[in-house]
Amino acid sequence: MELDLETISEIKRKAVEFLFEFGPRILGALIVFIIGKIVIGFLVKALHKVFEKYNIDPSLSSFLKSFASAILYVLLLITVASTLGIEMTSFLAILGAAGLAIGLALQGSLSNFAGGVLILIFKPFKVGDTIEAQGTLGAVEKIDILYTKVRNFDNKVVTLPNGVLANNSITNLSEKPTRRVEMAVGVAYGTDLKKTRQVILDTLKKDERIHAEPEPVVKFTSFGDSSLDLSVRCWADAGDLWPVYWDNMEALKEAFEANDIEIPFPQRDVNHYYPEGIPAAKVKEDSEGSQV
């Protein structure tokens, strides 16, 4: 289909009208976009310097920079659209409604996200720490923005939501360099407690992993059913906690045996009565007397 001169002239006229009407808007939008992009780059770099200054976790720093950059680009897009003369009221209403629906649908994930941010900022624990939380005791293997992975001592990996961790108590067993070792021992009734205490202290002094300060203590705690109960407390490096406990429990047993300190065990006296109520020992005594 061939175009006649009149049609071509009309197209040229409308093109010129469009150019004069929308050309300045397009040029303005392009300038806004270029300037906005430069400003966003400057702000992201400034944010990076702030994170470095306050020693923010690298994984959190990277996520927050990407998140901030995405928000800034959304704002830039809205500004550019507004510069082009696009009506933004309806668009923003739809965007707000969609954001509300997404927020309600992802309420749990948003809670975990906020918890992850708080954990990475305030650092109640870090990768490699041993923690106890939500009934789980183990070493932290990974801290994600939504979940934390903990490997317990039988090599099972437990995934805990960050929202739950951030809003409940956490016991960090690795934050302090030293830990108190507690051992409970019992000796037989009639045992000399002063001698026993000295034997225990002498045994602990042989272990170089046990700190001299604070010095070990041995205290009598209770009268047990079959034993006099003692509490033994000493301090060691956090990494030596269980080796010190296991080795010294065995060393104390050997020291007690070497010093004739009796290690008690539960005992019961049993008397057997016949149905008539006569003790068995009495029946045996009477029968032996009658034989004589």
Q: Is the pLDDT of residue 60 over 80?
A: no
Domain with CATH 3.30.70.100 in the chain: 176-292
Q: Which CATH topology does 176-292 take?
A: Alpha-Beta Plaits (3.30.70)
DSSP string, 168-193: S--EESSSSSEEEEEEEEEE-TT--H
Please tell me the least confidently modeled range out of 12-26, 191-205, 220-234.
12-26
Average pLDDT of span 193-204: 95
Is the pLDDT higher at 168 or at 97?
A: 168
What's the confidence (pLDDT) of residue 1? 47
Q: Which CATH architecture has domain 124-172?
A: Roll (2.30)
Domain with CATH 1.10.287.1260 in the chain: 9-105
Is the pLDDT higher at 104 or at 17?
A: 17
For 264, the 3-state DSSP assignment is coil
- Name the band, by pLDDT with cuts 50, 70 and 90, for residue 281: low
Question: How far apart are the C-alpha atoms of 37 and 30, rounded to whole Å?
Answer: 11
What percent helix, strand, coil does the chain show, rounded to 5? 55, 20, 25
What's the confidence (pLDDT) of residue 259? 94
Is the pLDDT higher at 291 or at 177?
A: 177
Indicate the CATH number for domain 9-105: 1.10.287.1260
What's the confidence (pLDDT) of residue 205? 95
What's the confidence (pLDDT) of residue 118? 84
72-128 tens-digit pLDDT = 888 888 888 777 776 666 666 666 766 666 565 555 677 888 888 888 778 888 888
Q: Is the pLDDT of residue 212 over 80?
A: yes
Rg from Cα positions in the chain: 39
* Helices 107-122 + 89-105 axis angle, to 10: 80
- Name the band, by pLDDT with cuts 50, 70 and 90, for residue 194: very high
Please tell me the least confidently modeled range out of 57-66, 177-186, 246-255, 283-292.
283-292
**Would you put residue 66 in left (φ > 0), alpha (ψ -120 to 50) or beta?**
alpha
Q: Is the pTM of this model over 0.75?
A: no
- Name the band, by pLDDT with cuts 50, 70 and 90, for residue 286: low
Domain with CATH 2.30.30.60 in the chain: 124-172
What's the confidence (pLDDT) of residue 20? 61
